[in-house]
Amino acid sequence: MRLTIFCILACLLFPSLSRAQVPVFDISRAASTIKFHVQASIAIEGTFDKWDATLTFASRDVTTAVLEARIQAGSVDTGSSIKNNTLKGSDFFDVKNNPYITFRSTRVVQTGPDTFELDGNFTIRGVTKAEKLALTVFGKGTGSGEIKGTMAFDRKDYGMNSGIPFIRIANRVEVNVNLKAKRVSGPPPIFKQ
């Protein structure tokens, strides 16, 4: 009986060894940005003010990483209330029916010492498609660093077929992420050379 109680207490008081052996990172939203840009006759670019991102690992192997981002589409900020309201409307983000834009990586390929391609599921306006996010990691092995990346997609693939009166808008949308991450526990991930 005493041994059973001791085992239960030990499980509650000490974290799992397997969990302690994977890197755990915290992404600072205050120091990070998610921006977008669309070629147009009048500049259409902006940021999202409300979002969360996580970076988790199944093991120390960097290719087991999963990057997830969940953006509140209604937090779009172009610096213009007219553009913001147009983008939030049913012709573009349709925030009333689809309040979130999400990305979840499904595969990580290391393409160079500090570069990666992430295949993932990107969802906007309730439509999910496979997209690629190209990343560069700065400060690896230091315990904190920066992840910069770019993803481009065709807005018409996601049902954003309309334009804005008197403004020519390209179909290609570019999303840029700049994420500041800090390892809060576990060992550093292992990178290929």
For 111-138, how does the pLDDT look when each residue is reduced to its tens digit (9 = 90+)? 999 999 999 999 999 999 999 999 999 9
End-to-end CA distance of the chain: 51
Secondary structure letter of residue 83 according to DSSP? H
Q: From CA 133, how far away is CA 67, in angstroms rounded?
A: 10
Q: Tokens 């295949």 identify what position?
A: 119
- Count of beta carbons in the 10 Å neighbourhood of residue 170: 14
Q: From CA 15, how far away is CA 77, in angstroms rounded?
A: 41
Domain spans of the chain, in order of start: 21-185
Question: Amino acid identity, residue 77?
Answer: D
**Residue 43: predicted pLDDT:** 81
The answer to whether the CB of 25 falls within 8 A of the CB of 144 is no
**Residue 4: predicted pLDDT:** 37
**Residue 188: predicted pLDDT:** 86
The answer regarding whether domain 21-185 maps to CATH 2.40.128.110 reads yes
Question: Amino acid identity, residue 88?
Answer: K
* Structure token digits, residue 151: 């993803």
Q: Is 128 left (phi over 0), alpha (psi -120 to 50) or beta?
A: beta
User: Within 13 A of 97's CA, how many CA atoms are on the CB side?
Assistant: 10
Q: Average pLDDT by consecutive 10-residue portion of the chain (193 residues)?
A: 42 46 92 95 92 94 95 96 93 96 97 96 97 94 90 96 81 96 90 76
* Structure token digits, residue 141: 């092995």
The answer to whether the CB of 58 falls within 8 A of the CB of 72 is no
**Residue 120: predicted pLDDT:** 98
* Structure token digits, residue 17: 């060894």
**Residue 16: predicted pLDDT:** 45
**Residue 124: predicted pLDDT:** 97
Q: From CA 14, how far away is CA 91, in angstroms rounded?
A: 52
The answer to whether the CB of 186 falls within 8 A of the CB of 22 is yes
Surface-to-core class of residue 139, CB atoms within 10 Å of its CB (0-12 exposed, 13-18 middle, 19+ buried) = middle
